[in-house]
Amino acid sequence: MKQTYRDINSEINLLSEEGKLQLHRDHDAARAFFLEHVNPNTVFFHNLKEKTDYLVENDLWKRETVETYSFDQFKALFKQAYAYKFRFQSFMGAYKFYNQYALKTEDGTRYYERYEDRVVMCAIDLSGGDYDLARDLVDAIIGGYFQPATPTFLNAGRAQGGERVSCFLLRVEDNMESIGRAINSSLQLSKRGGGVGINLSNLRETSAPIKNIPNTSSGVVPVMKILEDSFSYANQLGQRQGAGAVYLNAHHPDIMRALDTKRENADEKVRIKTLSLGVIIPDVTFELAKKNADMYLFSPYDVERVEGKTFADLSVTEHYHQWVEDDRITKTKINARQFFQTLSELQFESGYPYCLFEDTANSDHTMGHAGRVQMSNLCSEILQLQTPSEYHPDGSYKTLGSDISCNLGSLNVKRMLDLDNEAFGDVVDTAVRALDNVARTTEIDSVPSVKAGNDRSKAIGLGQMNLHGALAHHGIEYGSEEALALWDRYMAKVTFHAMLTSTDIARQHGEHEYFDGSEYATGAWFERKIKPWFEEDKELAFGIGELHAPTLEDWHHLQLEVYKHGMANAYLQAIPPTGSISYINHSTASIHPVVAPIEIRKEGRTGRVYYPAPHMTEDNVHLYKDAYQLGYEKLIDTYAVSTYWVDQGSSCTLFFPDTATTRDVDRARIYAWRKGIKTIYYVRIKQKALEGTGVETAADYCEACQL
């Protein structure tokens, strides 16, 4: 019987008669997938003109995208892409692309697009009418250097697609108009395919008074339930499930009730199954736990009446002792260590909650003059300022505040290390310009506060992936001193070129609204980051090829450019988890270690798919120790290096062996906080291997973003 591509793929998990890995079978499976499935099920057109006319006339490709350039230029971009003779490096990459990204017939059984088609449509859409940039984007994407996030890559140039923006964040004020607006906004954003984070810290607690009538408020949990139902209802035409996360401050009186909603044995009336949960933790909470002291929980309703500002707009650490002594503020108390113990129990059980270290994020916030970082998003890497909206009784805006959207895309570290210094800078420049164009051409009219925030900040999030694959390819152990030094220089170089490009964009479009007074405008960022970095007598050479980090003179030149022209983007970098785009880009996910040298995933009706780590060979397999083996210290050390340079945050997932205890989770959280990590995403405890295969399954990352 002839082997199918599924049969061939499964052989990756079996050793040959000589006892060696059969990694080549992954390439064989990818080829078989095309021969058996893709080629026979691809709609045939005689030429590009016929294909384009059909897809435009049938409202599948956007006419305005196709007509951005002359047809000769349009055709030349396709010729450029197809000249690469692109081949997927793994069966998983091919399967992911054709299952999730390629444009299909209405019944979903046949394909209109090949990978090259999607690359070109994305490049045109992100080029902003700059043909040279479109050409550069074709090279950067199909060459594997830069990969836009799933919402962008999936929806760019599609007539019936959702938004190209990855993440949205909403704050909620303590009134029914704001709550109603947040629910409607969540529906609107989920309909368009975005993952949504929502901060509920300002809502008054359970039994707080309403209109001076005591014991009236229902607290935050009922709002969480409504939001969960809203996200489940809106699913972008069935393509992708809506998904959201709510954040609550650790010193909110409803914090323990909110945490209990994630327990497996919680009452169904309050149990939260699909809505993600994050906790905002100030420094004072750690300090109280260290002393084994009680921690006070403060009524947001009373805090706002006393301070004249909302709870989320104030630092709990700075005001803690003052509020404890203030009799006007209702308060309760719990034991701080018991609070952290509860966090660890829940993370051990479910992976939740996410953690945002509030004071760490704000101490490194370059836009602190304009507002505070109050929360994060569904993947815990977006950290930006927000300002409140005020509403009329009919729900219309009295004052339009700023909420958050962020446009993401990631560089492939391994491919970037293949470049020379000039080409490295060119790719970063191309990526930043592409993401900036997404910000400038995105109009979220249905959620005015998000539109206002985007218009004011033009925020982007340039991320990274394939760090483990890059290190192993070059014979470097993940988390070693050599790896951390290389990673430090790499991130310095990315930061330099991203800032330089943003400054150049500002020449044409002007600076973002928050620039004046920012740490870039005052020079405080250069004093805080660059001066101490060089005081450590840094070696600038990467030790790989001819790449080197920017010199002190380079940074001085950049600072002068910033003073002259400003910067176009308030935020430039964030490191997302990456999932699907890593597979199609033949990359290890994000910057964390692999979850297994050969990963097993359950993919729809295909069943199990075996995915060998990118760039793994018989000679370097020993360098692919998985995240559970390596331990949290090396992972956190790696994230701490990039956190120094990233102006937002990173999706830092912690991995523990099946022998771990809640005390181990406690220790890891404290270690991360002390190392300056801003957020913790999921906590993953290793499960027993599947049916004795000896291969661990992958962690379940954010299926809303599919980053």
* Closest C-alpha to 252, from 227, 277, 226: 277
Cα–Cα distance between 41 and 99 in angstroms, integer? 12
Q: From residue 668, give the alpha-carbon distance in Å to each of 446, 576, 675.
A: 41, 20, 10
Angle, vertex CA 458, rays to CA 452 and CA 462, nearest 5: 135
Cα–Cα distance between 515 and 499 in angstroms, integer? 13
600: enclosing H helix or E strand = strand 598-603
Instruction: Count other C-beta atoms under 10 Å from residue 73's C-beta.
Output: 13
Whether the link from the prior residue into 612 is cis, omega within 30° of 0, is no
* Closest C-alpha to 175, from 452, 388, 326: 388
Cα–Cα distance between 631 and 479 in angstroms, integer? 10
Cβ contact 668:637 at 8 Å: no
Whether the link from the prior residue into 353 is cis, omega within 30° of 0, is yes
Cβ contact 382:574 at 8 Å: yes
Which residues, at least 6 apart from 378, have a Cβ–Cβ distance to it below 8 Å?
167, 195, 196, 197, 243, 244, 245, 276, 702, 704, 705
Which residues, at least 6 apart from 254, have a Cβ–Cβ distance to it below 8 Å?
205, 206, 219, 220, 221, 248
* Closest C-alpha to 413, from 311, 346, 490: 490
Which residues, at least 6 apart from 66, have a Cβ–Cβ distance to it below 8 Å?
52, 56, 74, 124, 157
Cα–Cα distance between 407 and 382 in angstroms, integer? 10
Cα–Cα distance between 55 and 517 in angstroms, integer? 48
Give yes or no: 381 in active site: yes
Cα–Cα distance between 118 and 107 in angstroms, integer? 19
Cα–Cα distance between 464 and 451 in angstroms, integer? 26
Q: From residue 454, give the alpha-carbon distance in Å to each of 55, 189, 436, 445, 568.
A: 31, 14, 11, 11, 12
Helices (H) and strands (E) in the chain, counts: 30, 17
- List b or e across 80-116, with b for residues whose CB sees 16 or more CB atoms inside 10 angstroms: bbbeeeeebbbbbbbbbbbebbbbbeeeeeebbbbbb
Pull the structure tokens for residue 679: 């957020």
Instruction: Count other C-beta atoms under 10 Å from residue 409's C-beta.
Output: 26
β-pairing, 167-171 vs 404-412, is antiparallel
CA atoms within 13 A on the CB side of 491: 28
Q: Which member of 122, 379, 702, 705 is catalytic?
A: 379
Helix crossing, 336-350 with 283-290: angle to 10°? 110
Distance between terminal CA atoms of the chain? 38
Which residues, at least 6 apart from 319, have a Cβ–Cβ distance to it below 8 Å?
307
Q: Which member of 199, 377, 437, 466 is catalytic?
A: 377
Give yes or no: 377 in active site: yes
Cβ contact 197:412 at 8 Å: no
Helix, coil or strand: residue 581: helix
Q: Which member of 177, 205, 381, 599 is catalytic?
A: 381
Q: From residue 62, give the alpha-carbon distance in Å to each of 141, 154, 508.
A: 20, 13, 27
Give yes or no: 9 in active site: no
Cα–Cα distance between 93 and 585 in angstroms, integer? 7
Question: What are the residue numbers of the active site?
Answer: 377, 379, 381
